[in-house]
Structure 1
Amino acid sequence: MALWDIPTRGLIAHKMSISPAMFARAATRPEHCTKDTCPASYSIYGYAPNLGANAFFVAIFAISCLTFCYQARLYRKWLGFSIAMILGTALESVGYGSRLMLSADPFSATGFKLNIVLLTFAPAFLTAGIYLLLKHLTLSLNPRLSPLKPSLYTPIFVSCDLAAIILQGAGGAISAAAANGTNKKLLDLGVNVMIAGLSSQVVTLAIFAILAGVFFFRIAGARDTLEPHAGHLWQASGFRMFVISAILAFVFIFVRCAYRIAELKDGWGSPIMRRENEFIILDSVMISVAAVLLNIFHPGRCFRQNLNETAVDLSTLDQKDGDEESIQVYALSKAHA
């Protein structure tokens, strides 16, 4: 049921508690609704977000954000990854805080604006962090087996991710300017821009998955010929758990992006958008589990567990293949040989 086709029968139950004039205005134009004049089904989302569930996700993302802040200080060589995670989880936490506002008042303009802007593009910061990992993985195992020069992963994929963030943020801002649904043209324009941003993110994720898949396929096929340091790292349980967690986080974020495209393709107030259970499973759970996995199996901790931090001759690595941080990661892995 689209936002603009909502029937008036839902207001009948409220008719006795409001004036005839208020009832007539709300029945004619749903955007005139307030929590005192209309049921939650008349809001864009069609429900009042569950208080307990959304409070839980506020806490999960807030704790995750604080943990990433601690890890940023502890593992300084992975500062870029940690900053991306901090931004993503902080925005998620505030975004779910806005859903608490909508739980109290489904017609809250402030809650609506914060919700659509923050929860739309916050996961893009998590994908940016994942993009940073592949460069380090290729340099640590065997940069020559990478289908793309390791130093190119960060500028290419982070730039694409930034473009997706801008599009999704702009689309959310345009929809937010519609003031909780009072301007259908703005809502539709905002939706189209957000879909463009989400679609570009999905395409970028798919290309990234192909390149990562090719690299790991080559590594698996050449594991018997890997240099000792790379072979040891590849067999280390902690390192493998880190790789598996990153892959799972990637899959969860991809599923979430696909869901959001399906949710938005029919516009605001679409049937999918008006079912909270699907949102919780395919968005909230997907992103929160991804964040927790990257928290628990932070690359700084997993690399440190499996590498001896011993100085080595950096001439063993073609320095054109990566920046100084990446070279250090590769050097640390080779020191374990």
Structure 2
Amino acid sequence: MSLVAAVATTLLRRDDPMKYDPELCTFETCDIEWSFYRYRPSLAANATLTALFAISLIAYAIQGVMSKRFYGFSIAMVLGTICECLGYVGRIMMWNNPWKEVPFMIQICCLTIGPAFLAAGIYFCLSRIVTTFGRENSRLGPLWYPRIFIPCDVLSLALQGAGGGIASTAVAGTSAADLGKNIMIAGLVSQVVTLGAFIILAIDFSLRTLRRMKSMGEGALDPRHAALRRSFAFRGFLVALSVATLLIFTRCVYRIAELSGGWDGHLMKDEPLFIALEGGLIVAAVFALNLFNPGLCFREGYDKTLSEEMK
């Protein structure tokens, strides 16, 4: 062993974690309690999630090409699943070295902003749903939904990306790192508020449609899309979209709580909870919309003049 290596090993074995160099850490020289998460990320769990998101990514790309419509939805979902894949690759890298900062920041940034892209894909769908049932049932014109929610989602994405960028370049434990964390939390709060408003408007549209159907019967609905509304694929899509929205909303609330506890908080150290509420919920959301992709579910009875009707 060289003199430099011997000195480095001696320093790394000291009890004071502030004196260690993460670039020189190994499982023999550094305590796992000095790592970012205080645990070694599960290789099996994170590799499984990486594979599942990769499958979903490929499926969204193929479905987007096959359907030749809903390009905004497809692009958003592809970008979201790319972020998810990169994030879990970062966690796999941390299995080899849980003290290393670069893979930690890769997974923090990518897994934080990924669902913002997925939410954007969901926002594109409500305008088509409104048109399918009848614009008279909605408080807003169909095109106002993406006009309102997409900019809000971009703001959320910008805050989370900026916060992640600041945190990734700051020294852990400094005021700059805390600033980055707080900006990321602000982005997540913005995303929760936007999703919450979206859910409220979607429920309001559903209740207004049901009330008009009770008083007017089928006359409350647009007759040009009756075949589409009766199809199993379209009804399955409505369920899948509702489930995916609630799952992403729940995940965002969890991430706010996790980051609010700080880098050394209890939730940050709980991998099973992370795998369930971050990985599991988002996997379920993306697969639900893979199974009932709107580009394919709107095929039966689809009116090619739909985009004109939305204006």
Q: Tell me if TM exceeds 0.5.
A: yes
Verify: 1:198 aligned to 2:188, yes or no: yes
Aligned to 2:259: 264
Verify: 1:292 aligned to 2:287, yes or no: yes
Aligned to 2:5: none
Aligned to 2:229: 234
Contact 2:153–2:191 (CA<8 Å) still a contact in 1? yes
Verify: 1:51 aligned to 2:43, yes or no: yes
Verify: 1:327 aligned to 2:308, yes or no: yes
Aligned to 2:146: 154
Aligned to 1:5: none
Contact 1:135–1:326 (CA<8 Å) still a contact in 2? no
Contact 1:55–1:100 (CA<8 Å) still a contact in 2? yes
Aligned to 1:9: none
Cα distance between partner residues in 2 of 1:91 and 1:58: 10
Aligned to 1:177: 169
Aligned to 2:26: 35
Cα distance between partner residues in 1 of 2:298 and 2:122: 15
Q: CA deviation at 1:94?
A: 1.0
- From 125, 138, 145, the equivalent of 1:133 is 125
Q: CA deviation at 1:23?
A: 2.3
Verify: 1:71 aligned to 2:63, yes or no: yes
Aligned to 1:217: 207
Cα distance between partner residues in 2 of 1:308 and 1:81: 17
Contact 2:46–2:88 (CA<8 Å) still a contact in 1? yes
Aligned to 2:4: none
Instruction: Tell me the SS of whatever aligns to 2:176.
Output: helix
Gaps of 5+ in 1: 1-17, 315-324, 332-337
Cα distance between partner residues in 2 of 1:178 and 1:31: 17
Q: Deviations over 1:252-306 (max 9, x none)?
A: 00000000000011211211010001101110011111111111100011111x3
Contact 2:64–2:295 (CA<8 Å) still a contact in 1? no
Aligned to 1:107: 99
| Aligned residue type for 1:307 | G
Q: Deviations over 1:134-154 (max 9, x none)?
A: 011101111111122211111
Verify: 1:279 aligned to 2:274, yes or no: yes
Structure 1 runs (4+) greater than 4 angstroms displaced: none
Contact 2:132–2:229 (CA<8 Å) still a contact in 1? no
- From 64, 67, 80, the equivalent of 2:72 is 80
Contact 1:187–1:268 (CA<8 Å) still a contact in 2? no
State the identity %.
Answer: 39
- From 179, 189, 194, the equivalent of 1:189 is 179
| Aligned residue type for 2:192 | V
Distance 1:129 1:159, change over 3 A: same
- TM-score norm. by structure 2 comes to 0.89
Cα distance between partner residues in 2 of 1:205 and 1:65: 23
Cα distance between partner residues in 2 of 1:253 and 1:281: 12
Cα distance between partner residues in 2 of 1:76 and 1:234: 20
Contact 2:119–2:245 (CA<8 Å) still a contact in 1? yes
Aligned to 1:303: 298
| Aligned residue type for 2:137 | L
Distance 1:233 1:222, change over 3 A: farther
Q: Deviations over 1:53-83 (max 9, x none)?
A: 1001111111111111111111122111100
Report the aligned-residue RMSD.
Answer: 2.0
Aligned to 1:8: none
Cα distance between partner residues in 2 of 1:31 and 1:163: 38
- TM-score norm. by structure 1 comes to 0.83
Q: CA deviation at 1:110?
A: 1.7
Q: CA deviation at 1:19?
A: 4.5
Bigger CA drift: 53-62 or 28-37?
A: 28-37
Cα distance between partner residues in 2 of 1:308 and 1:132: 17
Contact 1:148–1:211 (CA<8 Å) still a contact in 2? no
| Aligned residue type for 2:129 | L
Cα distance between partner residues in 2 of 1:227 and 1:176: 51
| Aligned residue type for 1:35 | T
Gaps of 5+ in 2: 1-7
Contact 1:139–1:326 (CA<8 Å) still a contact in 2? no
